[in-house]
Structure 1
Amino acid sequence: MTKVNVHEAKTNLSKLIEKVKKGEEVIIAKNGVPEVRLVPYEQETKDWFGMDEGKIWIAEDFDDLPDDILEMMSDPKIFPNESEELDEAAG
């Protein structure tokens, strides 16, 4: 672990960044009191499929929606079809 004061951090920022990229912990202190920890930036994943694998499940006692609810959901007055909305907006 590397611990530096703010002045040292300003002076040696590039070197500290390299240390962090190599896995070393870097702490920046102000008046001897730790203020921040530098951490490497993690790229956001662009692959959304499978991100929550193992985090979501369907309970064993899960019941399908009743037919009357499913029928209401297909009623365009309640849930308009996207293509119909686009046609109306364009027309």
Structure 2
Amino acid sequence: MQVTIHNAKTNLSKLIEAAKAGEEVVIAKGKTPVARIVAITQNRFTIGLLKDKVTGDGPDFFEPMSEDELALWEGAE
């Protein structure tokens, strides 16, 4: 869709919604196109992004340490 500058000022919110919906919005001065309203893509955080991509067992932080490891953590040598 092509609109004049005056029309763009009056209907900016509607034009932004149209651009977000994928419609091409061009602003013209008279009949000459001078600008385009383009939606910016929104990156969304996805839970489980790496699900089924990471393989193998990771460390189990809830398993008790051996006596030797515990002694090292507590500063014994």
Q: Normalising by structure 1, what TM-score?
A: 0.45
Higher helix share: 1
Corresponding residue for residue 30 of structure 1: 29
Q: CA deviation at 1:13?
A: 0.2
Shift of 1:43: 4.1
Q: Distance in 2 between matches of 1:43 and 1:12?
A: 23
Gaps of 5+ in 2: 45-77
In the other structure, the counterpart of 2:19 is: 20
Q: How far off its partner does 1:41 sit?
A: 1.3
Long gaps (5+) in structure 1? 46-91
Q: Over the residues paired in the alignment, what is the CA RMSD in angstroms? A: 1.7
Which whole-Å CA distance do the structure 2 matches of 1:15 and 1:27 have between them?
13
* Higher RCO by CA contacts (8 Å cutoff, separation 6 or greater): 2
Q: Per the alignment, in what secondary structure is the counterpart of residue 10 of structure 1?
A: helix
Which runs of 4 or more aligned residues in structure 1 lie more than 4 Å from their structure 2 counterparts after TM superposition? none
Q: Identical aligned pairs, as a percentage?
A: 55
TM-score, normalised by the number of residues in structure 2: 0.52
Residue in 2 that maps onto 1:11: 10
Which structure would you say has the larger Rg?
A: 2
